Structure 1
Amino acid sequence: MSEMADRYRRRAETFERKVVSVHPDQWSLPSPCEKWTARDVVRHIVDMHEAMLRPLGRSLGPAPSVDDDPVAAFRAARADVEAVLDDPSLAGRPCDTPAGRVPAERHIDQVLSDDLLLHGWDLARATFQDDTMDPEDVERAWAAMTALPGDLVEKFRTPGAFGPGVEVFGPEVSVEDDARLQDRLLAFIGRDPRWRP
């Protein structure tokens, strides 16, 4: 298994544990993502799994909806992406992405794996779970985000730049100079690390 596939599986497992731990009465709680509930965070992640499959001419298989069963919906979407990562001919197939033409597994690594990390914080914070991210994942994400060209970061911060209703980053949030790296990462992408439901 490649390092990228391993990273996806590890982060998907962490995210799944958070989904499983949400109590039934918590799904409608607000999340740090403005206008999204806890359920909407999972819906976005499931939708992003489908977005990773689309360039390969694939789609999500039959599964319960996030409205009916968020856990089952995520598990099914995860299985569909893992099937791609487990097949070298699919994992290595070039995909056209906003960042250029890259192999499918790299697209999954650069977009979906990071989404699992960052939206895992959203879901945990919304539902009163431990929201501590893996420090190595935080360092890796921080290095990648801060290495992005300024014009691309601005595009990420521009609502609708990647399609109607799509917002990648929010406006950067101010944090203390000595804030821990996790908080600085969250602030960079537009989250307020002090946010509470």
Structure 2
Amino acid sequence: MEEIAERYRRRAEAFEQKVAAVRPEQWGDQSPCEKWTARDVVDHIVGMHGYMLIPAGRSLDGATTVQEDPLAAFQAARAAVEAVLDDPALAKQESDTPAGRMTSEAHIDQVISDDLVLHGWDLARATGQDETMDPGDVERLWSSNSSIPPEVIEMYRTPDAFGPGIEVFGPEVVVPADAPLQDRLLGFIGRTP
């Protein structure tokens, strides 16, 4: 449990630093996700935090929205998820997810924790920040994503397969086989490195 919580905290801190570094005039800048601005990236992350709380019987209080204050909204979402991870009963609570039955902590680890890394890159690219991902995270994400069965990858690349407006991966962007692993990971999920 501590490994998952610590991984989440490290990734959330890196994402929070990126959010804090966005200048006010950059929030409308285009992200690598075709339909999203920089603000939309943060809104997605905050929204996904809310979804991760539902199986634990928790929710975001909604006091601050991403439209009002992206940093404060993310900090509130982060605190709510950390509270679940810090409570052994909530962290180990099982529920049904799109990927099968799993504990709250495993669901957080596989979904929102990984999203913080990938969408952290999106936010960095949109706002001219350092795009370098943690090499350990890149290796972990490459290993988990490249082992997904082809039929599931096809679903991930199909718009609306998981609901209206939901697109998990974009079309693969081909990069050289000897490209850095971060570039290969980004290309695999549909980003142009």
TM-score by length of 1: 0.96
Tell me which residue corresponds to 2:76.
Answer: 76
Partners of 1:62 and 1:162 in 2: how far apart? Answer: 25
3-state SS of paired residue (2:96)? strand
Tell me which residue corresponds to 2:121.
Answer: 121
Aligned length: 193
Tell me which residue corresponds to 1:146.
Answer: 146
Deviation at 1:8, TM superposition (A): 0.4
Opposite residue 65 of structure 1, the aligned amino acid is T
Partners of 1:90 and 1:43 in 2: how far apart? Answer: 25
Deviation at 1:57, TM superposition (A): 2.5
Deviation at 1:61, TM superposition (A): 1.7
Partners of 2:187 and 2:78 in 1: how far apart? Answer: 28
1:43 aligns with 2:47: no
Tell me which residue corresponds to 1:190.
Answer: 190
Which residues in structure 2 correspond to 1:1-197 (within 5 Å)?
2-193=2-193
Deviation at 1:29, TM superposition (A): 0.4
Deviation at 1:158, TM superposition (A): 1.1
Deviation at 1:91, TM superposition (A): 0.2
- Contact 1:11 1:113 (C-alpha < 8 Å) held by counterparts: yes
- Contact 1:50 1:77 (C-alpha < 8 Å) held by counterparts: yes
Q: After TM superposition, where is structure 1 displaced by more than 4 Å over at least 4 residues in a row? A: none
Partners of 1:188 and 1:95 in 2: how far apart? Answer: 29
State the superposition RMSD in angstroms.
0.9
Stretches of structure 2 lacking an aligned partner (at least 5 in a row): none
Opposite residue 51 of structure 2, the aligned amino acid is A
Post-superposition CA distance 1:1-51 (Å, at most 9, x none): 610111000000000000000000100000000010000000000000001
3-state SS of paired residue (2:46)? helix
Q: Percent identity over the alignment?
A: 68
Opposite residue 86 of structure 1, the aligned amino acid is D
3-state SS of paired residue (1:83)? helix
Partners of 2:80 and 2:97 in 1: how far apart? Answer: 19
Deviation at 1:114, TM superposition (A): 0.6
- Contact 2:56 2:84 (C-alpha < 8 Å) held by counterparts: no
3-state SS of paired residue (2:137)? helix
3-state SS of paired residue (1:133)? coil
Opposite residue 123 of structure 1, the aligned amino acid is L
